[in-house]
Structure 1
Amino acid sequence: MSTALPKAVQEAIDKIEIAELQSRYMYAIDWYDAQVYVDTFTEDGELVFPEGYAKGHDQIREMITRVGQFFGKLADASAPTKPAHLRHFVTNQVIRIDGDKAHAVAYWFDLNNDNQPRWPYLAGYGYYEDDLVRTPQGWRFSRRNVINEISSTSPPENPCW
């Protein structure tokens, strides 16, 4: 007797797992947790972002560590009151599943409060284009393209097929 789930049920589960992966990625950025961040990628995963490119866990770890050091210094720079926080959000996920592979697009934005008296402001926004694969550890990014629409030009066409 087969224990396979109906296709629609499995696809719904996959989409929830991918949305959770996208959220774990955001928490890892905000808490400067290099290990959790790296674990969202496959061993040979690629990260494409406006400031550069990283391939594989070692390069991705090095990149997120530098980002954490940079933003950590900013957060502590004016600390007569509570420390500043940078918080990232992901929205409008559209996910297409194809067996053990998936493609997703999603908007992202981040709020920062590195000012006095710690009022939040929109610090950045854009979207992600993700290629994902199912691994024994769950869904992972095989390639994540970060488009920052503040620092780069939007594409001429809708990225959501």
Structure 2
Amino acid sequence: MAETLEARIAHIEDRIAISELRARYSFLVDQSMAEEAADLFTGDGEFHGPVKSYVGRAEHVEHYSRQALSGMWHFGANEIIEIDGDRATGQAYCHMPCVFEGESYVCACRYDDVFAREQGVWKFAKRTVSFFYFVPLKDGWGGERMRFPGVAA
């Protein structure tokens, strides 16, 4: 049975809203806007990082207020979004150069997300980050230059 035009448009609008939620998260965290970043989570929303997890608005505000990174720039890509009514799941990759204790780092990660529509607005119900690499810029991904087959050094 074919979906109605209205249902198809609503699905597209939901995908755009979720994509915008991810982009807004990156911008707010990069700008150290802790209160606003915390508002992107549901009331009992969870964030799971490599060291610690945070649940609920108060913990999110505390976490984003005291981040040890003095500079951070999220560049997101490869979004996947699966919508099922007022819930959705998805993954996204992120390249994130940053500064930690005065040293430049290069890192990339994957976000695994669960979204929920709360009072008509899409929010993070759960966001889990796992890193592919997080190394000082001077060391590169593996401490040496990458080499491609058939290309002179």
Question: TM-score, normalising length from structure 1?
Answer: 0.73
1:87 and 2:73 correspond: yes
Q: Distance in 1 between matches of 2:65 and 2:73?
A: 17
Q: 1:28-107 residue pairs with structure 2 within 5 A?
A: 28-67=28-67, 70-72=68-70, 85-107=71-93
Q: CA deviation at 1:98?
A: 0.2
Contact preservation (8 Å) 1:24, 1:36: no
Which aligned runs of 4 or more in structure 1 are off by greater than 3 angstroms?
none
Q: 1:134 to 1:127 in 2, by over 3 A?
A: same
Secondary structure class of the residue paired with 1:20: helix
Give the secondary-structure state (helix, strand or coil) at the position aligned to 1:54: strand
Q: What corresponds to 1:124 in structure 2?
A: 107
Aligned partners of 2:48 and 2:55: how far apart in 1? 9
Structure 1 residue 122: Cα displacement: 6.4
Report the CA distance between 1:148 and its aligned residue.
Answer: 1.3
Q: Which has the higher strand share?
A: 2
1:10-25 equivalences in 2 (<5 Å): 10-25=10-25
Aligned-partner SS, 1:131? strand
| Distance in 1 between residues matched to 2:9 and 2:108, nearest whole Å | 32
Aligned residue pairs, count = 129
- Percent identity reads 30
TM normalised by structure 2 equals: 0.77
The residue aligned with 1:27 is 27
Counterpart amino acid of residue 97 in structure 2: L
Match of 1:143 among 117, 120, 126: 126
The 2-side partners of 1:36 and 1:137 are apart by: 18
Structure 1 residue runs without a partner (length 5+):
73-84, 115-120, 152-161
Inter-CA distance 5–39: structure 2 relative to 1 (3 Å threshold): farther
Contact 1:109-1:122 at 8 Å conserved across structures? no
